[in-house]
C-alpha cells in the first residue's frame, strides 16, 4: 500500500482529504512546510501531496528544501511530489515543475485524477 505524506495547512481540508485517501492509501498528515520537511527526514513515503499556499514556508519552498535534502543525501530516487491547490492560474503548473514538483492537481482531491497522475508518474504500490 502506498504511503502518502499529505501537506496542507487547513486542518479541516486535510482531514477530509485523508478520509478519502485512506480508502486506498496509508496517509500521514502534516500542517505546514516545516513539519513536512521534518517528517520527510524521519519516515519513508512513496509520494508527497503538497499544498502550495501555506504560511511561513509555502509548498514551492518546501519542495525545494526536500529536493536539496535528497541531493545532499545522494538519493537515487527522488520522491514524487504532487502539488495541490485551490487556485488555477496559467503559470501555476510551470512554477510547480520549476520548484521540483512532478505534477499538479486542483482541489478538491479527486481519487480518479490522482490515480491517473500516479499512473503517469509510474507510481505503483510501494516503490
Q: Domains of the chain (ranges plus CATH)?
A: 3-121 (3.40.50.2300)
Per-residue model confidence (pLDDT) at position 125: 64
pLDDT of res. 87: 77
State the average pLDDT over residues 63-90. Answer: 91
Predicted confidence at residue 8, as pLDDT, reads 96
Q: Give the full edge-to-edge strand order of the sheet including 26-30.
A: 26-30, 3-7, 47-51, 81-85, 103-106
Residue 31 has pLDDT above 80, yes or no: yes
Integer Cα distance of 4 and 49 in angstroms? 7
Stretch 4-20: mean pLDDT = 94
Percent share of the chain, pLDDT over 90: 76
The pTM of the full predicted model, rounded to 2 decimals, is: 0.93
- Give mean pLDDT, residues 12-36: 94
- Determine how many CB atoms are found less than 10 A away from the CB of residue 91: 8
What pLDDT was estimated at residue 127? 41
pLDDT score, position 83 = 95
In the block, residue with C-alpha cell 495541490 = 84
If you average pLDDT over residues 79-96, what whole number do you get?
87
The Cα 16–Cα 36 span in angstroms is 18
pLDDT class for 42, splitting at 50, 70, 90? very high
Amino acid at each position: 500500500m502506498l504511503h502518502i505524506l499529505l501537506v496542507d495547512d487547513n486542518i479541516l481540508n486535510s482531514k477530509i482529504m485523508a478520509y478519502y485517501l485512506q480508502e486506498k492509501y496509508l496517509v500521514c498528515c502534516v500542517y505546514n512546510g516545516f513539519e513536512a520537511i521534518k517528517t520527510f527526514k524521519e519516515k519513508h513515503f512513496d509520494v508527497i501531496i503538497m499544498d502550495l499556499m501555506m504560511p511561513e514556508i509555502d509548498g514551492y519552498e518546501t519542495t525545494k528544501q526536500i529536493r536539496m535534502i535528497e541531493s545532499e543525501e545522494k538519493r537515487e530516487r527522488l520522491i514524487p511530489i504532487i502539488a495541490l491547490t485551490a487556485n488555477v492560474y496559467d503559470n501555476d503548473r510551470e512554477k510547480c515543475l520549476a520548484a521540483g514538483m512532478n505534477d499538479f492537481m486542483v482541489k478538491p482531491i479527486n481519487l480518479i485524477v490522482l490515480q491517473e497522475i500516479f499512473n503517469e508518474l509510474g507510481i505503483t504500490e510501494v516503490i
